């Protein structure tokens, strides 16, 4: 038995927990975009909470805050990479914080990528449907919200929770070695 034992990964052992919420985010994003496109007139404000929160349908060829409107293909390529990375990570992550981050970032990227592929003018140059308008802030959608919240969740975990957990584990190891 000097040979290293091989670990066989079976379908029963692989549980891509992040794929389920990722898919839910994509469906929710596309459903809300479909409802908005079918029921709202473009560039018309529909107040939800006075003038502060409103639905306002626009088509965005750029990224956040409509920046980079001439770089739609570049944004599409970045979104393809993000989706692929998140799907791969979905098979590896086990921590609830990581699952949430991967699902939200991947789901948001996939939702906007679908717009880039299938909405006018198509071929990775499609315009993303944005419709949530809060105050004087940018107009955004469910996918944008998911990406933003996913990044915040990841940063909170990476900057605050994980270092605290690692320090606690280190202290416990030192106590065991000292005893």
Q: 78: left (phi > 0), else alpha (psi -120 to 50), else beta? A: alpha
Catalytic-residue membership of 1 = no
Q: Give 95's DSSP letter.
A: S
Q: Which residues pair with 60 in a beta bridge?
A: 128
Q: Could you tell me the two tokens for 144?
A: 């944008």
Helices assigned H by DSSP within 91-161: 96-118, 142-156
Give the up-direction half-sphere exposure of residue 7: CA atoms within 13 A in the CB hemisphere: 3
Catalytic-residue membership of 115 = no
Q: Is 91 exposed, middle or buried (0-12, 13-18, 19+ CB in 10 A)?
A: middle
Q: Nearest Cα to 109, choosing from 84, 73, 74?
A: 84
User: Catalytic residue numbers?
Assistant: 130, 144
């Amino acid at each position: 038995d000097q040979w290293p034992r091989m670990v066989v990964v079976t379908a029963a052992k692989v549980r891509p927990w992040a794929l389920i919420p990722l898919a839910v985010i994509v469906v929710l994003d596309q459903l809300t975009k479909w409802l908005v496109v079918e029921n709202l007139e473009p560039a018309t404000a529909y107040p939800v909470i006075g003038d502060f929160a409103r639905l306002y349908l626009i088509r965005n060829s750029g990224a956040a805050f409509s920046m980079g409107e001439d770089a739609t293909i570049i944004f599409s390529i970045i979104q393809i990479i993000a989706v692929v990375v998140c799907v791969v990570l979905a098979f590896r992550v086990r921590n609830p914080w990581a699952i949430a981050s991967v699902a939200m970032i991947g789901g948001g990227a996939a939702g906007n990528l679908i717009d880039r592929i299938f909405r006018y003018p198509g071929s990775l140059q499609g315009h993303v449907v944005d419709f949530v308008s809060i105050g004087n802030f940018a107009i955004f959608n469910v996918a944008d919200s998911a990406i933003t919240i996913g990044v915040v969740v990841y940063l909170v975990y990476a900057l605050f929770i994980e270092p605290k957990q690692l320090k606690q584990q280190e202290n416990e190891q030192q106590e065991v070695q000292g005893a």
